[in-house]
Protein backbone atom coordinates (compact mmCIF):
# COMPACT_ATOMS: atom_id res chain seq x y z
CA UNK A 1 0.00 0.00 0.00
CA UNK A 2 0.94 3.65 -0.23
CA UNK A 3 2.17 4.02 3.37
CA UNK A 4 4.42 1.01 3.03
CA UNK A 5 5.81 2.19 -0.30
CA UNK A 6 6.45 5.61 1.15
CA UNK A 7 8.39 4.02 4.04
CA UNK A 8 10.49 2.02 1.59
CA UNK A 9 11.31 5.19 -0.36
CA UNK A 10 12.30 7.04 2.82
CA UNK A 11 14.37 4.06 4.03
CA UNK A 12 16.26 3.97 0.71
CA UNK A 13 16.79 7.74 0.88
CA UNK A 14 18.15 7.42 4.44
CA UNK A 15 20.55 4.70 3.32
CA UNK A 16 21.74 6.83 0.38
CA UNK A 17 22.05 10.04 2.43
CA UNK A 18 23.72 12.96 0.61
CA UNK A 19 24.48 10.80 -2.40
CA UNK A 20 21.02 11.42 -3.81
CA UNK A 21 18.86 14.42 -4.63
CA UNK A 22 15.31 14.15 -5.98
CA UNK A 23 14.06 16.88 -8.31
CA UNK A 24 10.33 16.96 -9.00
CA UNK A 25 8.54 18.94 -11.69
CA UNK A 26 5.33 20.71 -10.66
CA UNK A 27 3.33 18.26 -12.82
CA UNK A 28 4.46 15.15 -10.99
CA UNK A 29 2.07 13.08 -8.93
CA UNK A 30 1.64 13.81 -5.24
CA UNK A 31 3.39 10.53 -4.33
CA UNK A 32 6.49 11.77 -6.18
CA UNK A 33 6.61 15.44 -5.11
CA UNK A 34 6.19 14.38 -1.47
CA UNK A 35 9.65 12.82 -1.64
CA UNK A 36 11.32 15.55 -3.72
CA UNK A 37 14.10 17.77 -2.33
CA UNK A 38 13.12 20.47 -4.84
CA UNK A 39 9.84 21.03 -6.65
CA UNK A 40 9.72 23.59 -9.42
CA UNK A 41 9.36 24.64 -13.03
CA UNK A 42 11.74 23.60 -15.80
CA UNK A 43 14.00 26.61 -15.29
CA UNK A 44 14.25 26.22 -11.50
CA UNK A 45 14.96 22.52 -11.81
CA UNK A 46 17.75 23.11 -14.33
CA UNK A 47 19.30 25.58 -11.84
CA UNK A 48 18.92 23.04 -9.01
CA UNK A 49 20.54 20.37 -11.18
CA UNK A 50 23.44 22.75 -11.93
CA UNK A 51 23.92 23.44 -8.19
CA UNK A 52 23.45 19.86 -6.96
CA UNK A 53 26.49 18.16 -5.39
CA UNK A 54 24.83 14.76 -5.01
CA UNK A 55 26.30 11.86 -6.93
CA UNK A 56 22.83 10.82 -8.13
CA UNK A 57 20.15 13.17 -9.42
CA UNK A 58 16.80 11.36 -9.59
CA UNK A 59 14.54 13.26 -11.94
CA UNK A 60 10.80 13.30 -11.41
CA UNK A 61 9.96 14.65 -14.83
CA UNK A 62 10.27 13.73 -18.49
CA UNK A 63 13.21 12.63 -20.65
CA UNK A 64 14.18 16.06 -21.96
CA UNK A 65 14.40 17.35 -18.37
CA UNK A 66 16.62 14.45 -17.29
CA UNK A 67 18.80 15.01 -20.37
CA UNK A 68 19.06 18.70 -19.49
CA UNK A 69 20.08 17.76 -15.95
CA UNK A 70 22.79 15.46 -17.36
CA UNK A 71 24.01 18.27 -19.64
CA UNK A 72 24.28 20.72 -16.80
CA UNK A 73 25.69 18.50 -14.02
CA UNK A 74 29.33 17.40 -13.67
CA UNK A 75 30.58 14.29 -15.41
CA UNK A 76 30.96 12.62 -12.02
CA UNK A 77 27.19 12.89 -11.41
CA UNK A 78 24.61 10.42 -12.68
CA UNK A 79 21.05 11.31 -13.68
CA UNK A 80 18.33 8.70 -13.24
CA UNK A 81 14.81 8.83 -14.69
CA UNK A 82 12.51 6.40 -12.83
CA UNK A 83 10.68 5.47 -16.05
CA UNK A 84 12.18 5.40 -19.53
CA UNK A 85 8.67 5.83 -20.98
CA UNK A 86 8.31 9.42 -19.81
CA UNK A 87 8.72 11.19 -23.14
CA UNK A 88 7.09 14.52 -23.90
CA UNK A 89 5.22 14.38 -27.22
CA UNK A 90 6.03 18.01 -27.93
CA UNK A 91 9.76 17.35 -27.74
CA UNK A 92 9.23 14.59 -30.33
CA UNK A 93 7.63 17.08 -32.73
CA UNK A 94 10.98 18.62 -33.66
CA UNK A 95 13.61 15.96 -34.25
CA UNK A 96 17.07 17.25 -35.00
CA UNK A 97 17.16 15.46 -38.37
CA UNK A 98 13.90 17.11 -39.48
CA UNK A 99 15.03 20.49 -38.24
CA UNK A 100 18.35 20.16 -40.08
CA UNK A 101 16.52 19.67 -43.37
CA UNK A 102 14.11 22.52 -42.68
CA UNK A 103 16.96 24.80 -41.65
CA UNK A 104 18.68 24.20 -45.02
CA UNK A 105 15.44 25.17 -46.78
CA UNK A 106 14.89 28.32 -44.82
CA UNK A 107 18.46 29.58 -44.91
CA UNK A 108 18.44 29.01 -48.70
CA UNK A 109 15.25 31.05 -48.94
CA UNK A 110 16.76 33.92 -46.93
CA UNK A 111 20.51 33.80 -47.71
CA UNK A 112 21.22 37.32 -46.44
CA UNK A 113 19.36 37.04 -43.15
CA UNK A 114 21.00 36.18 -39.84
CA UNK A 115 18.51 33.65 -38.42
CA UNK A 116 18.92 32.69 -34.76
CA UNK A 117 17.33 29.45 -33.56
CA UNK A 118 15.68 29.53 -30.14
CA UNK A 119 14.81 26.15 -28.75
CA UNK A 120 12.38 25.60 -25.92
CA UNK A 121 13.71 23.46 -23.09
CA UNK A 122 11.04 20.91 -24.12
CA UNK A 123 13.30 19.38 -26.78
CA UNK A 124 15.93 16.65 -27.01
CA UNK A 125 19.64 17.22 -26.48
CA UNK A 126 20.53 16.88 -30.17
CA UNK A 127 18.24 19.79 -31.02
CA UNK A 128 19.80 21.88 -28.25
CA UNK A 129 23.20 21.01 -29.77
CA UNK A 130 21.93 22.09 -33.22
CA UNK A 131 20.79 25.35 -31.63
CA UNK A 132 24.27 26.10 -30.25
CA UNK A 133 25.89 25.22 -33.57
CA UNK A 134 23.79 27.86 -35.28
CA UNK A 135 24.39 30.57 -32.69
CA UNK A 136 21.12 30.17 -30.80
CA UNK A 137 20.00 29.56 -27.23
CA UNK A 138 17.59 27.49 -25.18
CA UNK A 139 14.70 29.11 -23.30
CA UNK A 140 12.00 28.01 -20.87
CA UNK A 141 8.50 29.35 -20.44
CA UNK A 142 9.78 31.73 -17.74
CA UNK A 143 12.46 33.45 -19.85
CA UNK A 144 11.40 33.09 -23.51
CA UNK A 145 10.88 36.89 -23.77
CA UNK A 146 14.47 37.55 -22.59
CA UNK A 147 15.90 35.07 -25.09
CA UNK A 148 13.81 36.55 -27.95
CA UNK A 149 15.12 40.03 -27.11
CA UNK A 150 18.69 38.74 -27.04
CA UNK A 151 18.31 36.91 -30.37
CA UNK A 152 16.69 39.83 -32.18
CA UNK A 153 19.46 42.12 -31.01
CA UNK A 154 22.07 39.68 -32.25
CA UNK A 155 20.39 38.66 -35.54
CA UNK A 156 17.55 39.57 -37.91
CA UNK A 157 15.14 36.68 -37.46
CA UNK A 158 14.24 33.93 -35.02
CA UNK A 159 13.33 30.33 -35.75
CA UNK A 160 11.47 29.17 -32.64
CA UNK A 161 11.14 25.45 -31.89
CA UNK A 162 9.08 23.40 -31.15
CA UNK A 163 6.07 25.13 -29.44
CA UNK A 164 4.21 27.49 -31.76
CA UNK A 165 1.95 28.71 -28.96
CA UNK A 166 4.75 29.73 -26.61
CA UNK A 167 6.41 31.39 -29.62
CA UNK A 168 3.27 33.28 -30.58
CA UNK A 169 2.48 34.29 -27.00
CA UNK A 170 6.03 35.54 -26.51
CA UNK A 171 5.97 37.52 -29.76
CA UNK A 172 2.73 39.06 -28.55
CA UNK A 173 4.21 39.96 -25.19
CA UNK A 174 7.02 41.78 -27.02
CA UNK A 175 4.65 43.59 -29.40
CA UNK A 176 5.89 41.54 -32.35
CA UNK A 177 2.65 39.73 -33.13
CA UNK A 178 2.56 41.06 -36.70
CA UNK A 179 5.99 39.64 -37.44
CA UNK A 180 5.21 35.94 -36.94
CA UNK A 181 4.65 33.09 -39.39
CA UNK A 182 3.70 29.48 -38.54
CA UNK A 183 5.69 26.89 -40.37
CA UNK A 184 5.08 23.23 -41.00
CA UNK A 185 7.63 22.32 -43.69
CA UNK A 186 5.78 19.04 -44.40
CA UNK A 187 2.36 20.49 -45.05
CA UNK A 188 1.88 20.55 -48.84
CA UNK A 189 -0.92 23.08 -48.40
CA UNK A 190 1.10 25.25 -46.03
CA UNK A 191 3.46 28.14 -46.51
CA UNK A 192 6.79 27.49 -48.21
CA UNK A 193 10.19 28.50 -46.85
CA UNK A 194 10.40 31.66 -49.00
CA UNK A 195 7.04 32.86 -47.67
CA UNK A 196 7.81 32.34 -43.99
CA UNK A 197 11.32 33.74 -44.36
CA UNK A 198 9.71 37.15 -44.95
CA UNK A 199 8.65 37.20 -41.30
CA UNK A 200 10.96 37.99 -38.38
CA UNK A 201 9.67 35.21 -36.15
CA UNK A 202 9.23 31.79 -37.69
CA UNK A 203 7.30 29.35 -35.51
CA UNK A 204 7.76 25.60 -35.82
CA UNK A 205 4.44 23.81 -35.85
CA UNK A 206 4.70 21.92 -32.54
CA UNK A 207 2.36 22.06 -29.56
CA UNK A 208 1.64 20.52 -26.18
CA UNK A 209 -1.30 18.15 -26.39
CA UNK A 210 -2.28 18.95 -22.81
CA UNK A 211 -2.31 22.75 -23.06
CA UNK A 212 -3.72 22.86 -26.56
CA UNK A 213 -6.94 21.34 -25.28
CA UNK A 214 -7.79 24.40 -23.20
CA UNK A 215 -10.37 26.54 -24.99
CA UNK A 216 -11.78 29.97 -24.48
CA UNK A 217 -15.09 28.27 -23.63
CA UNK A 218 -13.43 26.81 -20.49
CA UNK A 219 -12.68 30.36 -19.34
CA UNK A 220 -16.17 31.55 -20.25
CA UNK A 221 -17.70 28.67 -18.25
CA UNK A 222 -15.55 29.41 -15.21
CA UNK A 223 -16.40 33.12 -15.33
CA UNK A 224 -20.07 32.30 -15.58
CA UNK A 225 -20.06 29.85 -12.65
CA UNK A 226 -17.56 31.81 -10.55
CA UNK A 227 -17.81 35.50 -11.47
CA UNK A 228 -15.10 36.46 -8.93
CA UNK A 229 -12.56 33.91 -10.12
CA UNK A 230 -9.21 34.97 -11.56
CA UNK A 231 -7.74 32.85 -14.32
CA UNK A 232 -4.07 31.95 -14.73
CA UNK A 233 -2.85 29.89 -17.69
CA UNK A 234 0.43 28.51 -19.02
CA UNK A 235 1.92 30.12 -22.17
CA UNK A 236 1.76 26.75 -23.97
CA UNK A 237 -1.99 27.47 -24.29
CA UNK A 238 -3.48 28.84 -27.50
CA UNK A 239 -3.29 32.58 -28.06
CA UNK A 240 -7.03 33.16 -27.56
CA UNK A 241 -6.93 31.33 -24.21
CA UNK A 242 -3.98 33.42 -23.02
CA UNK A 243 -5.78 36.55 -24.15
CA UNK A 244 -8.91 35.65 -22.17
CA UNK A 245 -6.94 34.86 -18.97
CA UNK A 246 -5.97 37.34 -16.24
CA UNK A 247 -2.39 36.09 -15.84
CA UNK A 248 -0.09 33.99 -18.00
CA UNK A 249 3.10 32.34 -16.79
CA UNK A 250 5.29 29.32 -16.23
CA UNK A 251 4.34 26.74 -13.63
CA UNK A 252 6.31 28.67 -10.99
CA UNK A 253 4.34 31.84 -11.80
CA UNK A 254 1.15 29.82 -11.44
CA UNK A 255 2.35 28.69 -7.99
CA UNK A 256 3.23 32.27 -7.04
CA UNK A 257 -0.19 33.74 -7.86
CA UNK A 258 -1.83 31.19 -5.58
CA UNK A 259 0.79 31.64 -2.84
CA UNK A 260 0.23 35.39 -2.93
CA UNK A 261 -3.57 35.24 -3.07
CA UNK A 262 -5.67 36.48 -0.15
CA UNK A 263 -7.73 33.95 1.82
CA UNK A 264 -11.00 33.27 0.04
CA UNK A 265 -9.72 34.35 -3.39
CA UNK A 266 -10.66 32.11 -6.29
CA UNK A 267 -8.07 31.08 -8.88
CA UNK A 268 -8.80 28.94 -11.90
CA UNK A 269 -5.70 27.08 -13.03
CA UNK A 270 -5.13 26.47 -16.75
CA UNK A 271 -2.39 23.90 -16.79
CA UNK A 272 -1.71 20.21 -16.17
CA UNK A 273 -4.15 18.88 -13.58
CA UNK A 274 -1.60 17.61 -11.05
CA UNK A 275 -0.36 21.14 -10.40
CA UNK A 276 -3.92 22.38 -9.84
CA UNK A 277 -4.39 19.52 -7.36
CA UNK A 278 -1.12 20.31 -5.54
CA UNK A 279 -2.07 23.98 -5.23
CA UNK A 280 -5.45 23.00 -3.84
CA UNK A 281 -3.71 20.87 -1.17
CA UNK A 282 -0.91 23.34 -0.43
CA UNK A 283 -3.21 26.38 -0.12
CA UNK A 284 -6.49 25.40 1.53
CA UNK A 285 -7.14 29.11 2.25
CA UNK A 286 -7.48 29.80 -1.50
CA UNK A 287 -10.25 28.39 -3.66
CA UNK A 288 -8.38 26.60 -6.42
CA UNK A 289 -10.48 25.62 -9.43
CA UNK A 290 -9.24 23.47 -12.29
CA UNK A 291 -9.94 25.32 -15.55
CA UNK A 292 -10.59 22.18 -17.51
CA UNK A 293 -14.21 21.45 -16.58
CA UNK A 294 -14.91 17.81 -17.40
CA UNK A 295 -11.92 17.34 -19.67
CA UNK A 296 -8.96 15.75 -17.96
CA UNK A 297 -5.79 17.75 -18.57
CA UNK A 298 -3.40 15.05 -17.55
CA UNK A 299 0.08 14.71 -19.05
CA UNK A 300 0.67 11.10 -19.95
CA UNK A 301 4.41 11.56 -20.12
CA UNK A 302 4.65 13.00 -16.61
CA UNK A 303 2.30 10.29 -15.34
CA UNK A 304 4.78 7.59 -16.37
CA UNK A 305 6.81 8.38 -13.27
CA UNK A 306 5.03 5.94 -11.03
CA UNK A 307 6.02 5.87 -7.35
CA UNK A 308 6.71 2.14 -7.71
CA UNK A 309 9.41 2.97 -10.23
CA UNK A 310 10.85 5.58 -7.88
CA UNK A 311 11.02 2.91 -5.17
CA UNK A 312 12.70 0.51 -7.59
CA UNK A 313 15.45 2.87 -8.82
CA UNK A 314 16.24 3.93 -5.23
CA UNK A 315 16.35 0.39 -3.84
CA UNK A 316 18.54 -0.67 -6.77
CA UNK A 317 20.95 2.16 -5.94
CA UNK A 318 21.09 0.97 -2.33
CA UNK A 319 22.01 -2.46 -3.72
CA UNK A 320 24.77 -0.82 -5.80
CA UNK A 321 22.99 -1.01 -9.18
CA UNK A 322 22.33 2.04 -11.35
CA UNK A 323 19.09 1.73 -13.32
CA UNK A 324 17.57 4.01 -15.98
CA UNK A 325 20.62 6.24 -16.35
CA UNK A 326 20.14 9.14 -18.76
CA UNK A 327 23.37 9.98 -20.49
CA UNK A 328 23.80 12.41 -23.36
CA UNK A 329 26.66 11.65 -25.82
CA UNK A 330 29.77 13.78 -25.04
CA UNK A 331 29.88 15.91 -28.23
CA UNK A 332 26.14 16.64 -28.05
CA UNK A 333 26.43 17.38 -24.37
CA UNK A 334 29.18 19.94 -24.89
CA UNK A 335 27.21 21.83 -27.55
CA UNK A 336 23.85 21.58 -25.79
CA UNK A 337 25.46 23.02 -22.67
CA UNK A 338 26.51 26.11 -24.64
CA UNK A 339 22.86 26.69 -25.67
CA UNK A 340 21.66 26.17 -22.08
CA UNK A 341 24.40 28.35 -20.56
CA UNK A 342 23.37 31.21 -22.85
CA UNK A 343 19.92 31.03 -21.29
CA UNK A 344 21.22 30.75 -17.73
CA UNK A 345 23.48 33.80 -18.27
CA UNK A 346 20.57 35.84 -19.64
CA UNK A 347 18.28 35.16 -16.70
CA UNK A 348 21.10 35.25 -14.13
Q: Which residues bind ligand SF4 (CB under 6 A)?
A: 27, 62, 88-90, 122, 208-210, 272, 299, 301-302
Sheet containing 230-233: which strands, arranged edge to edge?
247-248, 230-233, 266-270, 287-290
Q: 211 labelled as ligand-binding?
A: no
Would you tell me how many other CB atoms lie within 10 Å of the CB of residue 33?
Answer: 21
Which run of H or of E encompasses 138? strand 137-139
Is 250 among the residues that bind ligand 13P (CB under 6 A)?
A: yes
**Cβ 66 to ligand 13P, closest distance in Å?**
12
DSSP 8-state assignment for residue 262: P
Contact call for residue 28 and ligand 13P (CB under 6 A): no
Q: Is 25 annotated as a binding residue?
A: yes
Residue 42 as a binder of ligand 13P (CB under 6 A): the answer is yes
Distance CA(257)–CA(255), nearest Å, equals 6
Residue from 83, 123, 141, 180 in contact with ligand 13P (CB under 6 A): 141
140 binds, among ligand SF4, ligand 13P, none (CB under 5 to 8 A by kind): ligand 13P
41 makes contact with ligand 13P (CB under 6 A): yes
**Do 324 and 83 meet the contact criterion of CB atoms below 8 Å apart?**
yes
89 binds, among ligand 13P, ligand SF4, none (CB under 5 to 8 A by kind): ligand SF4
Quick one: which H or E segment has residue 99?
helix 96-109
The answer to whether 46 contacts ligand 13P (rule: CB under 6 A) is no
63 belongs to the binding site for ligand 13P (CB under 6 A): no
Q: How far apart are CA 306 and CA 297, in angstroms?
A: 18
Cα of first residue to Cα of last residue in the chain, in angstroms, is 43
Confirm or reject binding of residue 199 to ligand 13P (CB under 6 A).
no
What is the C-alpha to C-alpha distance for residues 32 and 61, in angstroms, rounded to an integer?
10
User: Please, what is the minimum distance in Å from the beta carbon of residue 288 to ligand SF4?
Assistant: 18
73 annotated binding-site participant: no
Q: Is 177 a known ligand-binding residue?
A: no
- 208 annotated binding-site participant: yes
What residues contact 197, with CB distance under 8 A and at least 6 apart? 106, 109, 110, 113, 157
Asked if the peptide bond before residue 341 counts as cis, ω within 30 degrees of 0, the response is no
* DSSP helix/strand/coil, 118: strand
> Considering CB distances under 5 to 8 angstroms, the limit depending on partner class, which of ligand SF4, ligand 13P, none binds residue 291?
none
Residues comprising the binding site?
A: 25, 42, 88, 120-122, 141, 208, 234-236, 251, 299
Binding site for ligand 13P (CB under 6 A): 26, 41-43, 88, 122, 140-141, 208, 234, 236, 250-251
Amino acid sequence: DEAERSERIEAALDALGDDVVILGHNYQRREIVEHADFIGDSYQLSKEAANADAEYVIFGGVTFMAESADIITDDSQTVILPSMEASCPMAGMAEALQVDAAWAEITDAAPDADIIPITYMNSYADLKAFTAEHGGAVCTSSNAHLVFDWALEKGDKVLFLPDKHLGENTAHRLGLEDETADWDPWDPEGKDAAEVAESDIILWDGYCQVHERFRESHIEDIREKHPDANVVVHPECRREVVEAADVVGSTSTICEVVEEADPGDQWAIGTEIHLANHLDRWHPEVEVLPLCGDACMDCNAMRQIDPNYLTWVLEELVAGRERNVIEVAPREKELAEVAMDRMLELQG
